[in-house]
Amino acid sequence: MTSSASLTPEIDAQAIALIRGLAMDAPLYAKSGHQGTAMALAPLAHVLYSRVLRHAPQESQWRNRDRFILSNGHASILQYAMLFLNGYGLEIDDIKAFRQWDSQTPGHPEVGHTNGVEVTTGPLGQGFANAVGMAIAERNLRERFGQDLMDHHTFVLAGDGCFMEGISHEAASLAGHLGLDRLVCVFDDNGITIDGSTSLTCSDDVAKRFASYGWNVIQGGEIGEDLDALEAMLTSARKHTGQPTLCILKTHIGYPSPDFTDAHEAHGNPFTAEHVSKTKAHMGIPDEPFWAPNDVVSQCRAHAANKGAALLSEYDSATAHAEGKHGFDQCWSEPQGDAVADLMPSFAQDSTLATRQAIQQCIEASASVLPGLLIGSADLTGNTGVKVKSVGAQSKQLPTGQQVYFGIREHAMGAAMVGMALHGGTIPVGGTFFVFADYMRPAIRLAALSKARVIFVFTHDSVGVGEDGPTHQPIEHLASLRVIPGLQVIRPADSNETKVAWECALTYPGPTALVLSRQSLPITTDGDAVRYGAEIVVESEKAQIVLVGTGSEVSVCVDAAKLLKDSGVEASVVSMPSFDRFEMQPSQYRDSVFPANVPVLSVEAGVTFGWSQYADASVGIDRFGASAPGSTVMSKLGISVQNVVERAQELMNRSK
């Protein structure tokens, strides 16, 4: 694509000095932050934004832009300085408000909060794995719809901390296996962590490690101050095909501070005013806070805007009549709930499918109207129902495939799906056993924080797993997911609720956890409880007690209500698949589901934590499970019709 003339060497030098000055001033002003990495990487960041990245500040969400991810997000002031210099809307007052309440420059980059930030980073290694997901999304869309519509790279900057975290191993292995050659990672090899030299804790050979994953490795060496050499390294990485590329750059944290270059103190302890002054004198720039000469800023912004205009113009010309444009545009459109609903299967009233089986039918039926679907599992594809027969397996040989085999890599799968969603044009769906949500917790949390539309499919949702025992029986997991703000959690009671849950997951503007059963379940609802979060499924005009359950326990409540009725007790039954959806309903509706002065007994095969806001007493499992057939474990731990009847009678007697 078209490029414009470079900035002059004088402007380059002043821009780098400006970045380093801001990297010191903002943490000093905030009395908090990390300046050392940003100072060392100022030349690299400037070269990346001014010479290498294909980006357009005037249209920051341009679909075909190169993506840049700062995986070592503690160095956020580096990214904010670049967004300021390149005209993304940040001004000096925003830099001065670094790490302050309601500012555009929070402590770690947040997507949707600061223009020009692609993903929310901070927990080390997550951004690196997000980048792998973005690269999968880019390649799949490019191969399916053509290079005129999608043809960009994902650049990620990572440090020692990112590569020590286990998620980086999983994500790098997956990227190498898939041959994601539009993925470029720059490793900031400064040899420093908070505690001191990396020699205290780590002796990995990073180059050999990544080579063994199937990456192309470029040893950049000591070129951190050589702009042309940095550009040549990044350009070489960009041109390489067949493999992702790791550029190893030997840097000196805190450079050019006379006091703290290569010192671990430069990492997270803001320099004093005296240290900042000494460093600025060494750099030859004015000793004034937030020094940002108008001519430097204006020239950098004009340069970025001109390059962006040329790229946008060329892209518009190339895509005006591109083959496949309609399908490509569909990928970027919001899923249409009505279109999905029209394709949903019907389930016979006497059917008894596990909800993990019902979800597979729903996904398969709707795949034709979800062109952005990228679906897979962590080695449990058939078990979790996330198999689409009509699409091929994503691979180096078949990059058009939409079925992703993540392997036994839950950490990487979760974060990669967040990257796919934030890239755009995709609907990532990933399945594993519910107990392994523990591996994915950071990614689930960041999906919620990022409002990324990711659908996490969790199956084998209770002690009904059976013989595998307590290591594989989720007890506390449902409660732990419900407390994550912005995460839609749905545990459907039967196939009908599963169908509606799939529709709601596709249209929710954020992540969803679908929590599904291993065991077969009877049809007990019409599915509408999912839309409202909770609904009465067995009515009683003179209910003496309300039995409320989720998932497989709704049928237990229904059977218990029948026994209670035989003994002269009127009970209504509520299916409550989603606490968060219920809380969005008007108070009048919520009061109609749980009428005042009628005792409520909750029934759920998990910890009882959280139920006190709705129930007066709870039947649950506040201990770990056991190894035995699933029905035996359920019964022994109190998830049985008889125990529910007895507990209901106890509650009514106590209420009287």
Kindly list the distances between the CA atom of residue 287 and the CA atoms of 34, 35, 485, in Å, as whole numbers in the listed order.
20, 17, 44
Question: Is residue 77 within 8 Å of 33, Cβ to Cβ?
Answer: yes
Q: What percent of the chain has pLDDT over 70?
A: 99
**Residues 610-639 pLDDT 10s:** 999 999 999 999 999 999 999 999 999 999
Helix axis angle for 9-30 and 294-319, nearest 10°, is 110
pLDDT band at 20 (very low <50, low <70, confident <90, very high): very high
Q: Where in the chain is the domain with CATH 3.40.50.970?
A: 9-316, 337-515
212 phi/psi in degrees, rounded to 5 = -70, -25
pLDDT at 88: 98
pLDDT at 2: 39
User: How many CA atoms, within 13 angstroms, populate the side-chain half-sphere of residue 492?
Assistant: 37
Strand partners, 619: 603
- Nearest residue to 631 (alpha-carbon basis) of 537, 520, 494: 520
Strands (E), 144-200: 154-159, 183-189, 192-193, 196-197
C-alpha to C-alpha distance for 499 and 248, rounded to whole angstroms: 48
pLDDT exceeds cutoff 90 at 277: yes
**Helices and strands, number each (H, E), in the chain:** 27, 18
pLDDT at 134: 98
pLDDT exceeds cutoff 80 at 5: no
Average pLDDT over residues 234-240: 98
Average pLDDT over residues 149-159: 98
| CATH architecture of the domain with residue range 532-655 | 3-Layer(aba) Sandwich (3.40)
**Residues 441-483 pLDDT 10s:** 999 999 999 999 999 999 999 999 999 999 999 999 999 999 9
Q: Where in the chain is the domain with CATH 3.40.50.920?
A: 532-655
pLDDT exceeds cutoff 60 at 576: yes
Report the top-level CATH class of 337-515.
Answer: alpha beta
Radius of gyration of the chain (CA): 28
- Nearest residue to 636 (alpha-carbon basis) of 647, 648, 625: 625
Kindly list the distances between the CA atom of residue 646 and the CA atoms of 219, 426, 552, 639, 641, in Å, as whole numbers in the listed order.
70, 49, 19, 12, 9
Average pLDDT over residues 588-595: 97
pLDDT band at 270 (very low <50, low <70, confident <90, very high): confident
In sequence order, the 6+-apart residues with CB closer than 8 A to the CB of 166 are 125, 411
pLDDT at 541: 86
C-alpha to C-alpha distance for 48 and 499, rounded to whole angstroms: 46
Longest C-alpha distance within the chain, in Å?
90
pLDDT exceeds cutoff 70 at 100: yes
DSSP state at residue 123 = S
pLDDT at 3: 42
321 phi/psi in degrees, rounded to 5 = -125, 30
Average pLDDT value for the chain: 96
Strand partners, 159: 188
Query: Is the full-model pTM beyond 0.95?
Result: yes
Kindly list the distances between the CA atom of residue 202 and the CA atoms of 71, 160, 193, 199, in Å, as whole numbers in the listed order.
19, 9, 10, 5
Domain 9-316 has CATH 3.40.50.1110: no
DSSP state at residue 257 = -
Six token digits for residue 157: 């900057």
C-alpha to C-alpha distance for 464 and 454, rounded to whole angstroms: 26
C-alpha to C-alpha distance for 308 and 202, rounded to whole angstroms: 42
**Residues 469-479 pLDDT 10s:** 999 999 999 99
* Amino acid code (one letter) for 83: L
Q: What percent of the chain has pLDDT over 90?
A: 96
**DSSP-derived 3-state class of residue 539:** coil
C-alpha to C-alpha distance for 1 and 317, rounded to whole angstroms: 12
- What value, to the nearest 5°, has the Cα angle with vertex 305 and ends 158 and 85? 50
CB atoms within 10 A of CB 121: 32
Helix axis angle for 9-30 and 76-85, nearest 10°, is 130
pLDDT at 1: 38
**Residues 287-300 pLDDT 10s:** 999 999 999 999 99
Question: Omega before 256 cis (within 30°)?
Answer: yes
Average pLDDT over residues 580-600: 97
In sequence order, the 6+-apart residues with CB closer than 8 A to the CB of 269 are none
pLDDT at 306: 98
Query: What strands lie across the sheet with 427-433, from one edge to the other?
Result: 403-405, 373-377, 427-433, 455-459, 512-515, 488-490
**Residues 69-78 pLDDT 10s:** 999 999 999 9
Strand partners, 515: 458
- Nearest residue to 602 (alpha-carbon basis) of 487, 460, 459, 482: 482
pLDDT exceeds cutoff 90 at 349: yes
* Amino acid code (one letter) for 517: S
Show which residues are catalytic: 410
pLDDT exceeds cutoff 80 at 4: no
**DSSP of 39-102, one letter per residue?**
HHTHHHHHHIIIII----GGGTT-TTPPEEEESSGGGHHHHHHHHHHTTSS--HHHHHTTT-TT
* Amino acid code (one letter) for 291: W
pLDDT at 655: 85
